[in-house]
Amino acid sequence: MIRLRDVSLKPAGVGQPVLHGMTLTIPQGEFRWLLGPSGAGKSSLLKLLTLGAKPASGQMDILNTPVTGASRSTLRNLRRRIGFVPQDYRLIGEWNVFDNVALPLRLRGRSERDIRQEVFAVLDWLDVAPHAHSRPTTLSGGEQQRVAIARALIGRPDILLADEPTNALEDSQARRLLATFQELIDLGTTVIVATHNEGLVRDAPAPSIMLRDGTLDPHANEAIA
Ligand SMILES: Nc1ncnc2c1ncn2[C@@H]1O[C@H](COP(=O)(O)OP(=O)(O)OP(=O)(O)O)[C@@H](O)[C@H]1O
C-alpha cells in the first residue's frame, strides 16, 4: 500500500513547493494512471514515490513502511522493491545493455548463472536481446526505452512506477507493455504510469491520479484518499 497524508515536496533552492497537499491511498496490487498537463507535478510525484526525494512535510508510507525518519537501510530495502522507468531512461552509458539490466539482481547478490538466464529472458521478451552486448547509446530511443523497462521489471518489484514508458514505442509495443502491467497487477504489484498518451488511457480505462498545479485536481479526484 502507498499512503500519502498532506505531503509536500520542495526541491532545494526553490521558493514554492512543487507538490503540496498530496493526500492519497493506493492499495497494493492496483493500477493508476498518473495524468495532468505538462508541469503539473507527475515526475515530481514519481520522484517522491521512488524515494528519490524526501517529503518537505506530511507523512508518506510506502509498502506500509513510514518513510519519514526511516533509517538508510530501511530506505535501501524499500528502493529495491520499487521498479522505475524514468522518462529519460537513465541507462549507464559505460555499461552494455546486459549489465544495465542485471544491476538490480547483482545488488541482491544473485548468482551470475541465474542473472544470465533472467536477463536474457526479459531482453528476449522485449525484443532487445540482440543488443545485449551493445552500449545503450548505440540503440534507438525505442530500444533504450525497452532496456529501461527491462531493468525495472527484472527484480519483480512490488511497486512499478513508469514515467511516459511508451513515448518511444510503437503502438503494438505499447499495447504489449500494458498487457505486461496487467500480468504484474494480477501478481500483486502496484503499477503507476504517468502518461500524456490519451489513446493509451482510452484503450485501458483505469482509475487515475489527476494532478494540476502541483496537487490533486479536486474536480478529477473523488474519494481518492
Ligand atoms: N528540482 C526542481 N527545481 C525547480 N523546479 C522544479 C524541480 N523539479 C520540478 N520542478 C518544477 O515543478 C513543476 C512540476 O514539474 P514536473 O516535472 O513534476 O511536472 P510533470 O507533470 O512531470 O511535467 P511533464 O508532463 O512536462 O513531464 C514544474 O513547474 C517544474 O519546473
Tens of pLDDT, residue by residue, the chain (225 residues): 999 999 999 998 888 999 999 999 999 999 999 999 999 999 999 999 999 999 999 999 999 999 988 999 999 999 999 999 999 999 999 999 999 999 999 998 999 999 999 999 999 999 999 999 999 999 999 999 999 999 999 999 999 999 999 988 888 888 888 988 898 999 999 999 999 988 889 988 999 999 999 999 877 765 444
Specify the residue with its C-alpha closest to ligand 1, atom 24: 38
* Any ligand 1 atom below 6 A from CB of 111: no
* Any ligand 1 atom below 6 A from CB of 8: no
Specify the residue with its C-alpha closest to ligand 1, atom 3: 11
Specify the residue with its C-alpha closest to ligand 1, atom 30: 39
How far, CA to CA in Å, does 46 sit from each of 40, 61, 132? Answer: 12, 14, 28
- Residues 192 and 208: their CA atoms lie apart, in Å, by 9
* Any ligand 1 atom below 6 A from CB of 18: yes
User: Interior CA angle at 132 toward 130 and 137, to 5°?
Assistant: 100
Q: Give the domain ranges of the chain.
A: 1-81+157-225, 91-156
> Among 40, 41, 50, which residue's Cα sits nearest to residue 9?
41
Residues belonging to the chain:
225
Ligand 1 atom nearest to CA at 40? 21
- CATH code of domain 1-81+157-225: 3.40.50.300
Cell of 96: 552494455
Specify the residue with its C-alpha closest to ligand 1, atom 26: 38
* Any ligand 1 atom below 6 A from CB of 41: yes
